[in-house]
C-alpha cells in the first residue's frame, strides 16, 4: 500500500528588514566601488592607491572602508592644496581649545589664590 504523502514545505525565511539606500553624496564612509565612482576612476586604480599607501583605509574583516574626508585629503594633496577641516572637526577643535583654556585658567586662579594666601599670612606676621 502506497501513500501519496508529500514532504512538508519549509516555511519561507523571514524577510530581511529593508534599509533605504543612502545616496553616495551623504555617506561618510565608502566602499572601493563607491570611491571609484566618486573619483571617476576604476576600482583597480583605487586598490593601487590603497596598496601604495596614498589612500588610507579602514579594514573591517574583508571589507575596505574609505572615509570621505580621506578622499578629499588625497585629492587636495594631489592638487597641491590643503583641505580645511570640516565643520565638525572645527567644532571639536574649538571645544578642545576652550577646555584647555579653562584648565589653564583654573590652574592660574589656584596659583593666584596660593600667592594671595601667602601674602595675607606674611602681612599678618608683620602686623603682629
Q: What is the CATH number of the domain that holds 40?
A: 1.10.1660
Report the mean per-residue pLDDT for the chain: 80
**75 and 112 both lie in a single domain:** no
> Does a structural domain hold residue 123?
yes
Per-residue model confidence (pLDDT) at position 83: 58
User: For the residues 20-27, what does the mean pLDDT come to?
Assistant: 72
Q: What's the predicted TM-score (pTM) here?
A: 0.49
pLDDT of residue 126: 85
Torsion sign, CA atoms 65, 71, 73, 78: positive
Residues 121 and 77 in one domain: no
Report, as an integer, the average pLDDT of 38-49. 93
Domain residues for 119? 85-128
Local confidence band at 101 (pLDDT 50, 70, 90 cut-offs): confident
pLDDT at 7: 67
Q: Please state the separation of Cα 68 from the chain's center in Å.
A: 10
Does position 49 have pLDDT exceeding 80, yes or no? Answer: yes
Q: For the chain, give the percent of residues with pLDDT over 70.
A: 74
37 and 79 co-located in one domain: yes
Residues 6+ apart with CB under 8 A from 67: 28, 29, 30, 56, 58
The count of structural domains within the chain is 2
| Domain assignment of residue 7, yes or no | no
Would residue 3 count as lying in a domain?
Answer: no
> Out of 8-17, 58-67, 88-97, which region has the weakest mean confidence (pLDDT)?
8-17
Residues 79 and 114 in one domain: no
d(CA 103, CA 36): 45
Q: Are 68 and 61 in contact (CB under 8 A)?
A: no
pLDDT for position 127: 81
Amino acid at each position: 500500500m502506497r501513500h501519496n504523502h508529500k514532504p512538508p514545505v519549509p516555511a519561507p525565511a523571514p524577510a530581511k528588514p529593508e534599509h533605504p539606500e543612502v545616496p553616495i553624496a551623504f555617506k561618510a564612509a565608502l566602499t572601493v566601488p563607491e570611491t571609484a565612482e566618486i573619483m571617476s576612476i576604476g576600482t583597480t586604480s583605487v586598490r593601487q592607491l590603497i596598496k601604495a599607501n596614498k589612500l588610507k583605509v579602514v579594514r573591517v574583516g574583508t571589507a575596505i572602508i574609505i572615509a570621505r574626508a580621506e578622499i578629499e585629503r588625497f585629492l587636495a594633496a594631489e592638487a597641491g592644496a590643503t583641505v580645511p577641516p570640516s565643520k565638525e572637526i572645527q567644532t571639536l577643535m574649538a571645544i578642545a581649545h576652550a577646555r584647555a583654556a579653562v584648565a589653564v585658567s583654573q590652574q592660574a586662579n589656584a596659583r593666584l589664590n596660593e600667592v594671595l594666601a601667602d601674602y595675607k599670612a606674611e602681612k599678618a606676621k608683620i602686623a603682629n
